[in-house]
Copies of this chain bind each other. A is one copy, B any other.
Amino acid sequence: MVVVLEKNISDKQLENVIKHLEDFGFAVHKSTGVETTVLGAIGVQLDFDIRNIKILDGVAEVYKITEPFKLASRSFQKENTEIKIAGVVIGSVDVVMMAGPCSVENEKQIFSIAEIVSKAGAKILRGGAFKPRTSPYSFQGMGETGLKLLRKAADTFNLLVITEVMETNQISLIEQYTDIFQIGARNMQNFSLLRDLGKTTKPIMLKRGLAAKVEDLLMSAEYILSNGNKQVMLCERGIRTFETYTRNTFDLSAIPVVHKRSHLPVIADPSHATGLRDKVLPMARAAVAAGADGIMVEVHNEPEKALSDGPQSLLPDQFAELMKQVKLIAEVIGRKM
C-alpha cells in the first residue's frame, strides 16, 4: 500500500498515520520528494480496506498495490487453467461451442435442438430448468423434469450439459444431471452460492454481473477457488450502460484483459449481450477474433414459440452458418473449433 501525504501535513499528523499503519500490521517506509512525501506500507493483507487510512488527517491519497485476488491471478499461476470434461477441453487451443435453448420446455423441443446443435458442431448443450426471471409472472422453468430431459437429450446426441443453479438448496439436485454449473449474472455476488459451489467438484461457469468490473468478476471467482474448486471459467455477457439500442453493452475487451490478469478461461455470450438475433452472428465472430475460449449462444427450433428469450435465439440455419464462420475466424488466430 502506498500512502501519499498532503504537503502541509503536521509532524503530529504524520506520526498518527504511521502509528495507524503499524497498528494494522504494516511495516512503514518513508520516502520524501521535493513536493510530495510518500509512505510505503509493506505487508500483504488481501482484504485491507484502504479507506481506513484515507480518512486520516494529512493523507491525500492511498493506493493498494496488490491485486485483491490471489488464486485467480496470473501471477499465482502462469499456465492457463484447462478444464477437461470427457473429451472436451476448455481453455486450450479449441474454441468450444455451448448452444441450446434459453429454457427446457418439453421433450420434443430439447431433443430437436440438441440434435441440431450437435450436428452443427457444438460440444455442450445449454438449457435452463430453473430460470431467474425479472418478472414473477414469467415462466420460471420446469425444475427437475427439465433437468432430466436436458440430460437425456445431451446423452442421446453426445453432448455435455451446462445449466444454471440459482440457490444453494438446488446444488445437490442439479449436480446429478449437469456437467457444468452455471452461475447467472444476477448471482455473481451471491456469496453463499459461490462458497457452496466452491465445495463441489464439478466445473463452474461464472457470468459477469451487469455492473461488475472485471476485478469484481475475478474476486467472485476467488470465492469459488478459495473453497477448493479450481475448475472455474468466466463468461462475458454484456454490462449495463446508457446505450439503449442493444440490451447490454458487450465488453469484448474483457477477453484479452482477463487473459492477461488471470489464468482462467473466458466464454463469450453474444445472445444475452445484444438481446437480438441479428446481432448474434457478427458478435460471435468478434468474440472469437478477440480470443474467447468458448461461445455460448441460444438456439431454438421454433423461436417464435419459445417460452423465454425467443427473440435472441438463433434459428437452426443461422446457427449452422455461425458455426461455419466462427470456425474460419478461429483458424485465422491459430485455434480450432
Chain A interface residues (CB < 8 Å from chain B):
2, 4, 6-8, 20, 27, 29, 31, 33-36, 38, 40, 42-44, 46-47, 49, 51-52, 54-55, 60-61, 63, 65-66, 68, 75, 132-138, 166-169, 186-187, 189-195, 209-211, 213-216, 219-220, 222-223, 226-227, 239-246, 249-257, 260-261, 273-279, 282-283, 285-291, 304, 308-312, 325, 328-329, 332-333
Contacts and interface: CB of A to CB of B under 8 A. Distances in A.
Which 9 interchain pairs have the tightest Cβ spacing?
A211-B211, A51-B311, A33-B42, A186-B189, A285-B289, A289-B289, A286-B290, A286-B286, A47-B138
B245 A242 contact: no
Contacts of A138: 47
Given A186-B189, A240-B242, A52 B290 contact: no
Contacts of A27: 33
Contacts of A68: 134-135
Given A134-B220, A211-B239, A282-B289, 20 more contacts: A33-B42, A35-B44, A46-B135, A47-B137, A51-B312, A55-B278, A132-B191, A136-B191, A136-B223, A167-B167, A168-B169, A190-B190, A209-B210, A215-B245, A250-B252, A252-B286, A253-B283, A282-B291, A285-B290, A325-B333
A66 B282 contact: no
A136 B187 CA distance: 16
Give the copy number: 4
Nearest to A258: B245
A276 B40 contact: no
A290 B288 CA distance: 10
A242 B211 contact: yes
Nearest to A74: B6
A34 to B, nearest CB: 6
Contacts of A7: 75
A157 to B, nearest CB: 27
A289 B291 contact: no
Nearest to A281: B256
